[in-house]
Amino acid sequence: MSIKVMIVDDSAVVRQVLSGLLNAAPGITVMHAVANPLLAMERMKVQWPDVIVLDVEMPKMDGITFLRKLMTEHPTPVVICSTLTEKGAQTSVEALTAGAVAIITKPRLDLKQFLHDSADELVSAVRAAAGAHVGKLANRPAPPPVTVKLNADAILPPENVRPMTATTERVVAIGTSTGGTQALEEVLTALPRVAPGIVVVQHMPEKFTAAFAARLDSVCEVRVKEAANNDRVLQGQVLIAPGGKHMLLRRTGAQYFVEVVDGPLVNRHRPSVDVLFRSAARAAGANALGVIMTGMGDDGAAGLLEMLKAGARTVAQDEASCVVYGMPKEAVKKGAVERSVPLNAIYREILQQLQY
């Protein structure tokens, strides 16, 4: 069955380009492309879409108001298509918090070329959204990706190391993607200030992670910040990998810190969960907990297995509580997961790190 898509964007150019790209993808049909949410609501009285591709800054009704109305009255998977600016990042993070599944960024200049260059990302986001557990929508698994992908070897070559002896310094490494913004908020807001040091890779574009970290910091007892190179991993602090950079865990003596580096896409992502998890296996071994949460694809599965073999505890979010049960599923299939738990139980797994 074809995925029916509605595009809501006040730019005629964006509507034209997005419609062409999505209609060219197998199994996707653009049923409507309209200029604002009021027109969208009129069209949806006749036929409801499977996925909505939504701008956030529009006349008559902004995308955030429309999104909240949707999620209250008729939950529907939404992909945000937003301009890549600091202001746009804050608004788009607000949209993710309100229930959007993913973000596709668009620049102010060379829009047509950019969108054509991002066609694979757009199509993947729409397919992931169609398979997301949002309200009453049926789950449609996303098709396997077809582009070539690199693994963590591209950033951190494998080496044979013995698991480290446990010490009092503990660290938690979390990896997540589609649906992760809301899931992370639920986990982190449940943690007290004495929580162990946490490092997070959330698949998110450049510029958006700073706004995301700032928002989490405003609602959590723990401190949350976008990671900078050589930041210490401290109790009561969460470091979010910056969009467009890889983040690695390092150790000097009894102290952990993060290294933020450039590099190629790994598993089609930068930052990559596999890169973080491999570095955690090497730097922390048995002193670490690896947590893999909701997300599309398999990024993090191989790295979590490396953590387990290095003596770390490993936990996955269970299928029932995931927006997209992709990354945890792949980790389970690899034998990398000791325990699968509901989203609302993950914070307890993290606090157990303090008892070892």
Q: Are 233 and 256 in contact (CB under 8 A)?
A: yes
Bridge partner residues of 174 (DSSP):
200, 291
Nearest to 325 by CA among 50, 152, 173, 140: 140
Q: Choosing from 177, 272, 321, 340, which is the catalytic residue? A: 177
Tokens representing 38 are: 């009021």
Give, for 247, the enclosing helix (H) or strand (E): strand 246-252
Exposure class string for 208-231: b at 16+ Cβ within 10 A, else e: bbbbbbbbbbeebebebebbeeeb
User: What residues contact 340, with CB distance under 8 A and at least 6 apart?
Assistant: 315, 316, 317, 318, 319, 328, 332
Q: Which of 55, 298, 299, 318 is catalytic?
A: 299
Q: Which two tokens stand for residue 177?
A: 């993607």
> What is the Cα–Cα distance from 326 to 102, expressed in whole angstroms?
15
Catalytic, 269? Answer no
Is 246 assigned a catalytic role?
A: no
- 246: Cβ contacts below 8 Å, ≥ 6 apart: 155, 260, 261, 262, 263, 266, 270, 271, 272, 275, 276
Catalytic residue flag (residue 203)? yes
Collapse the DSSP code of 253 into the 3-class scheme (helix H, G, I; strand E, B; otherwise coil) and give the result. Answer: coil
Indicate which residue of 50, 82, 133, 203 is catalytic: 203
Token representation of residue 222? 């723990």
- Catalytic (active-site) positions: 177, 203, 299
